[in-house]
Each structure stands twice: as C-alpha cells, then as structure tokens.
C-alpha cells in the first residue's frame, strides 16, 4: 500500500511539473512577447542619384540596427507631389510605424496627410520652408523631423567668384514650385551681391519650359548657379544640352546635378545623410524618442568636387582641395 501511495505521489509531482512547463512555454510563445517587426514606408519624390543614395543609406542604417525586424515599403512619386500624397495615404491605410519622406514635396505631402505617424525627412534643405513654419528653430513641434542637405550657400557663392572672377551676372536656375529652392535662391543671391556680382533669377515650372528658360539664362548670364533642386536634377541632361552649346558654365548645389551638367560643386554625401536619418528612425522605433522634439540634423562635412569632362572645356584647373567626380 505504501509503495502504491509513493508511486501515485511521484506521478502527481511529475504531472504538475509537466503542466508548469507547458504553461511557461505557452506564455513565451504569445505574439505579444515576440520582438516587434516594424513596418516603414518610404516615399521618394523622384529617382535620381542623390535621393537614391539617401534612401539606400536610410535602409542600411535601420537594417544594421534592427536586422529582420524592419520591413520597408519603398515607393517613388515620379516627380509629382500628388503621387506622393497618394503613396502616403496608402501607408496610412497600412498603419505603418514610421514614414521616411525623401525630398521636400514628399515631406510636405506626408505632414499634410497624417499628424500621428512619425515622419522623418531627408534631402530637405530648410524645414521651415518645407513645413511653412515661421521662425523655425530646429524642432517642428509636430510629428516631423529629419535631416537637411543645406550646404554653406556663402561658400558656394564664393566658389563662383573664385572660379570665374570676371563674371558679372550669375543666372540662378530653379523650379518655381520647389519651396526649398526659393529659400536657397534668396540666400545665395544676397551672398553673390556682397561679392560684387549681379544675381538674376530664372524659374521654370516643369519639363515643358525648362529648355527655353535655360536658354534665356544662358543668353543673359556669365555663369549659372543651380541649387539643390529636385526638378533641375531630374532635367539635368536637358540643361546640359542647352548650356554646353551656349558655352556657359554651371556651378551646382550638389554632386548629382554637377555630374551631368556642372563644372564644380560644394556637396554633401547623400548616403551619409540618409544613414543619419535611419539612426533617427531607430531612436523613434526602438527607444520611443519623441519625433516632435528631435532637432533637425545636418551633414557633418562638405566636399569640393569638380566635373573633369566639363571643366576641361573651360580650361579650369583645380587644387588638391577639390575631388574629381567619377
């Protein structure tokens, strides 16, 4: 009898232990305890080298931090702000965890569409202009932050003066619908005036009139300056076709434009800029950082670069402080 009781007791102990293990295993397998996989929507205004590099840098940074715990939905607006709005609305329907908006119109579209989903911009020159915020102090106070591609415009103006000391009139070619371009035009015009040159504005609206506007700029200018303008970048080949025949040199606001139609530029690395944006996204997604209080971040360094093929046509020589664009 005693043996039977002992055996029964052992069986009960074993069953209790197995039940306890089973309960623990069920708890660990609950979906709420699994590492969260983040869904990130990326809306890029248009495909060109600078924006492409920023998007790649952003994705690489988040992959380095989160591995397989992040899924990207990357869409391109084909240069149309209206397309960006449609894309963002799709992200909202999909309930993404964060939106990365690449270029000013993309950021504006995202900010208009949602006030709750965190938005990070990149390749945006001036967020006050992009978001229509007066006296912008570096934080938006809303669900938007990001990185800026603003270059030292005074140094770009000085580059015009240094490379073309006899130039009297500098034509500034830009798209009238780009808010950030207007900001750059204002600042660089003031810088050029201080250096004794006359700035003249030549704005185009889209691909239909850029050739004619560029021709007018060439006819009335000694040098042309193009800011970090997405539409100009998209139409750089058209600009080059006009300017090369006219024999008018171009100083560009970034490397992508310069590679196609420019002589020289003071530029940032857009991959690095996108990478920094990705690190900001990690702080929001994983650490719960408040996007509305995050300071806009800027490129850590700028590089003087020149386009050998076009520079040779003007007999220009560059020192060791310039890098050749490959």
The ranges assigned to domains in the chain are 2-32, 35-149+270-295, 153-267+303-324
Assign domain 153-267+303-324 one CATH number from 1.10.3720.10, 3.30.70.2610, 3.40.50.2300, 3.30.565.10: 3.40.50.2300
> What's the pLDDT tens digit per position in 47-80?
988 999 999 999 999 999 999 999 999 999 999 9
DSSP collapsed to 3 states, the chain: CHHHHHHHHHHHHHHHHHHHHHHHHHHHCCHHHCCCCEEEEEEECCCCHHHHHHHHHHHHHHHHHHHHHEEEEEEECCCCHHHHHHHHHHHHHCCCCEEEEECHHHHHHHHHHCCCCCEEEEEECCHHHHHCCCCCCCCCCCCEEEEECCCCHHHHHHHHHHHCCCCCEEEEEEECCCHHHHHHHHHHHHHHHHCCCEEEEEEECCCCCHHHHHHHHHHHCCEEEECCCHHHHHCHHHHHHHHHHHCCCEEECCHHHHHHHCCEEEECCHHHHHHHHHHHHHHHHCCCCCHHHCCCEECCCCEEEECHHHHHHCCCCCCCCEEECC
Same fold, 35-149+270-295 and 153-267+303-324: yes
**pLDDT at residue 19, rounded to an integer:** 46
Please say if the pLDDT value at position 15 is more than 70. no
Statement: 35-149+270-295 belongs to CATH 3.40.50.2300 = yes
> What's the pLDDT tens digit per position in 101-143?
999 999 999 999 999 999 999 999 999 988 989 889 999 999 9
> What's the pLDDT tens digit per position in 245-276?
999 999 999 999 999 999 999 999 999 999 99
Please say if the pLDDT value at position 20 is more than 70. no
């Amino acid at each position: 009898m005693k043996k039977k009781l002992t055996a029964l007791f052992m069986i009960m102990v074993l069953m209790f232990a197995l039940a306890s293990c089973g309960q623990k295993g069920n708890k660990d397998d609950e979906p709420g305890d699994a590492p969260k996989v983040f869904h990130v929507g990326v809306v890029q205004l248009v495909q060109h080298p600078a924006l492409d590099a920023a998007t790649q840098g952003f994705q690489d940074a988040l992959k380095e931090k989160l591995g397989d715990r992040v899924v990207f939905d990357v869409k391109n607006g084909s240069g149309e702000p209206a397309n960006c709005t449609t894309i963002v609305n799709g992200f909202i329907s999909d309930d993404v965890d964060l939106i990365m908006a690449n270029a000013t119109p993309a950021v504006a579209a995202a900010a208009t569409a949602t006030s709750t989903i965190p938005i990070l911009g990149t390749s945006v020159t001036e967020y006050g202009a992009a978001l229509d915020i007066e006296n912008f102090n570096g934080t938006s106070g809303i669900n938007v932050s990001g990185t800026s591609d603003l270059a030292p415009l005074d140094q770009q103006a000085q580059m015009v003066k240094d490379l073309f000391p006899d130039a009297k009139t500098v034509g500034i070619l830009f798209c009238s619908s780009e808010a950030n371009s207007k900001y750059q035009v204002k600042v660089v015009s003031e810088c050029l005036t201080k250096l004794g040159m006359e700035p003249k504005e030549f704005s185009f609206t889209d691909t239909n009139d850029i050739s004619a506007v560029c021709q007018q700029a060439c006819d009335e200018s000694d040098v042309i300056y193009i800011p970090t303008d997405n539409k100009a970048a998209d139409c750089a080949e058209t600009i080059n076709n006009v300017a090369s025949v006219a024999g008018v040199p171009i100083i560009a606001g970034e490397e992508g434009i310069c590679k196609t139609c420019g002589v020289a530029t003071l530029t940032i690395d857009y991959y690095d800029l996108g990478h920094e944006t990705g690190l900001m996204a990690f702080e929001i997604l994983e650490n719960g950082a408040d996007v509305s209080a995050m300071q806009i971040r800027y490129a850590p360094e700028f590089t003087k670069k020149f386009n050998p093929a076009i520079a040779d046509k003007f007999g220009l020589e560059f020192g060791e402080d310039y890098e050749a664009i490959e």
